A and B are shown apart, each in its own frame.
Chain A
């Protein structure tokens, strides 16, 4: 497996961990470990009406667990268009969530940002592998 694919699997696994932490914080009703300084305010984001999937009481982080979980499985397989499509879904979701944070809530949640960075990293890996399927130039082929 190319190193880039391994990196994508690793990022996905870390993403599952971050999403599980945010889900546990939601159901336990506790404040996440996060500094509060002006714009950085996890609680403002996680206690907003956007912290749950619209029309449900399911925290948005559950969607994160699903996305990263599927991503981890996908990247264990040979790279193909489905990886790019799944990454595009992740990127669009991240853009929507960043819109919510910046425009609607006016605060940034560091834990959410960590998950967003992982999604973007996976998207970049997919972009690299689309251009160069062997990952040549950045990683060693299998």
Chain B
């Protein structure tokens, strides 16, 4: 018995102690991964955040507006829809008319909102083909929002005259989200009727077409000065022109629908006619 035990002990495999992985290793690895990734995000944010914008003075703004509203017809023709997303949705309702009884284009947005900022460039260009703005001033989207400091203009305090259409542009809040323009109850009703999510910007073109959002990404304008964007628009092959003028062409086609193709100089162009057919 004793000799058997001695033999078993002699031949028994020696089990070497295996070090167990401590339980804290898993959570510590997850925490370390999170810390590294979040730190990388913070560095990336710091590196890519554009410097605070300084809105240009009035005369510079007027120069930029004059530049973007006097683009040659050939440029509109060559760009067509460009890279713009057609957000226009046909709607049914009593035709919307403005203060002077003409078909109305209604815009509701906010100065803080980068998508409103992007859409305003296209709206100003499109509407300027039917009439004239005065009192437009430069503005930028909020600094604490996605696409911060998007260079743009504001419709607050601006007036528009046209022999074809009326335009009403409301900015409900300023860049710091303080209240600004107040819509009438009828405009409020319009806003919620065609826009149950209450998104901005909201644009209604004579109750014939309506849409919310921007037809191109505000990223196109990131870190740019007003003058730089205006200069880019002169080149029909630029990213800016394809996005902004493409959007303006879509808006122009929708407006031509409510003016019954007036003025002919704008609405009878092959590009606008083609887009009108596309809109249905």
Contact = CB atoms under 8 A, between A and B. Distances in A.
A84 to B, nearest CB: 10
Interface residues of B, number: 26
A120 to B, nearest CB: 7
Contact of B37 (A48, A95, A123, A130): A95
Secondary structure type dominating chain A contacts? helix
A128 B27 contact: yes
Interface in B71-119: 115
A48 B26 contact: no
B145 A48 contact: yes
A50 interface: yes
B235 interface: no
Secondary structure type dominating chain B contacts? helix
Interface residues of A, number: 32
Contacts, number: 68
Nearest to A27: B197
Contact of B145 (A44, A57, A99, A135): A44
Interface in B27-82: 27, 29-31, 34, 37-38, 41-42, 44-45, 48-49
A99 B31 CA distance: 16
Nearest to B49: A106
Interface of B: 20-23, 25-27, 29-31, 34, 37-38, 41-42, 44-45, 48-49, 115, 144-146, 148, 197-198
